[in-house]
A and B are shown apart, each in its own frame.
Chain A
Amino acid sequence: MSYIHLAYGDLVLPALLVVMDGALSLALRLKLEKQLAIATVRMVLQLVLVGYVLTFLFAAVSPLWTALAAVVMVLFASREIVARQKRRLPGIWSYGLGAGCMLLAAGTVTMFALLTELRPDPWYHPRYALPLLGMILGNTMTGISLGLDVLTNSLVRERAAVEACLALGGTRYQALLPVLRDALRSGFTPIMNSMAAIGLVSLPGMMTGQILAGVEPIDAVKYQLLIMFLIAGGTGLGTLAAVTGGARLLTDHRHRLRLDRISTE
């Protein structure tokens, strides 16, 4: 297996494409040039940093360091989920629910893949565990944040309908069922769209990366299929846990709707 090595100097010319975007923004007065510059610098720093961190982790092959890196990834993802919410859950739960559900969903499917399909030696080898977890986390995060966003917004909008059902003796789950269904559908939509378009409209980054690195396309496809199945499972599990957990937090033991527990940013 061989691949074409890139030096940092080889990235200068492609980076000019971003400069071109900045020039377009200036010319068309889009006022995006400052954001674009910050995003570009952030991206470069984050990726270079993660390159060095992964190099260290791959050399160490330590369960402790691997677990620590996984926890940091989950914490950043939960922060991202909170940042995407217009209406937030109460107190520590605004972070805790997203983090817990991602840990549950992404952790479960990553462990499943490591222990049953890939079986690296040792099973926690960071070369396999971390990229796998990263891809699953990224997609699960999108599903969870969309699901929670639709849940909270729909409950505020559909308050009269939910409370009408409760007033007629419905349980909190009966009353919230239409909203829960909408929230789950929204959480599933990105992965469903991605599965439908993959191969025809888009070639996924991981598969493209493997092909560029010299892997046979059909082997890269098998890896991509594995990842897609894992992402679908993780998204389903994570979104279901987050939406049902959110519904439980926004109601109480007396089957009352508790919109007073939502804070608006």
Chain B
Amino acid sequence: MLTVHALKRLHISVSFDLQDGECVALQGPSGVGKTQLLRSIADLDPNEGMVKLDGTLRETMPAPTWRKRVTYLAAEPGWWSDTVQDHFSGWDDALPLVTRLGLPCSCGPWPIQRLSTGERQRLGLVRALMLRSRVLLLDEPTSALDSASTAAVESLIAERISNGTSVVWSTHDNAQARRVGSRVLVMNADGGIEDNRP
């Protein structure tokens, strides 16, 4: 279980719990701090408060270990090498997920510059899923995708959730929030959240 208690970053002050195998949708107007919240849980920005995974405090483990268990995926993932396969420790192992999200097997040697925004978004998701993290913090993971690709991503994440992965899914799409989330956390302008259970 992920526990977030009195997490503070800039104007944000948030507490909530996330059970194993639970997906919560995170909503709120642009600029309200959804990305800041997800980054803070992953400890990518300085923040205050208590964050625990299964009762273990985040600060008791090295930050890289924490991020392998609680993984943040940006809406526009970054790329540090020239080709697609350079970004995977085992490209062959990633191929089933790559093809499932509608990308060709042959895209491994492709240069990153050749990829469209949507292709980058799907490959970024595959890269994050390869870690098999306990918690996924997804920042608008389908914002650049068509409906077919969106459905493929939702189906893949649903499988992970049924296997025990917990997910915080940030989205501006109300219908998607209702589809993927067992509850919806709505961030407001003063940095707090409202927990809307169905």
Query: Which residues from chain B contact A178 at a C-beta distance below 8 Å?
Result: 80-81
A164 touches B78 (CB 8 A): yes
Q: At the interface, yes or no: A160 with Cβ under 8 Å from chain B?
A: yes
- If A168-B128, A256-B43 touch, whether A163 touches B64 (CB-CB below 8 Å) is no
Q: At the interface, yes or no: A217 with Cβ under 8 Å from chain B?
A: no
A168 touches B44 (CB 8 A): no
Q: A-side interface residues toward B, CB under 8 Å?
A: 158-171, 175, 178, 252, 254-258
Instruction: Give the nearest-CB partner of A165 in chain B.
Output: B80
Known: A162-B80, A255-B64. 10 other contacts (CB 8 A): A163-B44, A164-B77, A164-B78, A167-B67, A168-B68, A168-B128, A254-B63, A255-B63, A256-B45, A256-B46
Query: Which residues from chain B contact A160 at a C-beta distance below 8 Å?
Result: 74, 76-79
Main secondary structure of the interface of B (DSSP, over half): loop
Q: B-side interface residues toward A, CB under 8 Å?
A: 42-46, 62-65, 67-68, 71-74, 76-81, 124, 127-128, 131
Query: Which residues from chain B contact A164 at a C-beta distance below 8 Å?
Result: 74, 77-80, 124
A166 vs B80: C-alpha distance when bound (angstroms): 11
A162 vs B80: C-alpha distance when bound (angstroms): 7
CB contact between A252 and one of B46, B68, B76, B127 (< 8 Å): that residue: B46
Query: Which residues from chain B contact A257 at a C-beta distance below 8 Å?
Result: 44
Instruction: Give the nearest-CB partner of A252 in chain B.
Output: B46
A252 vs B63: C-alpha distance when bound (angstroms): 10
B77 touches A171 (CB 8 A): no
A169 touches B64 (CB 8 A): yes
A162 vs B81: C-alpha distance when bound (angstroms): 11
A170 vs B77: C-alpha distance when bound (angstroms): 15
Instruction: Give the nearest-CB partner of A253 in chain B.
Output: B63
Shortest CB-to-CB span from B137 to chain A, Å, is 9
A85 vs B101: C-alpha distance when bound (angstroms): 45
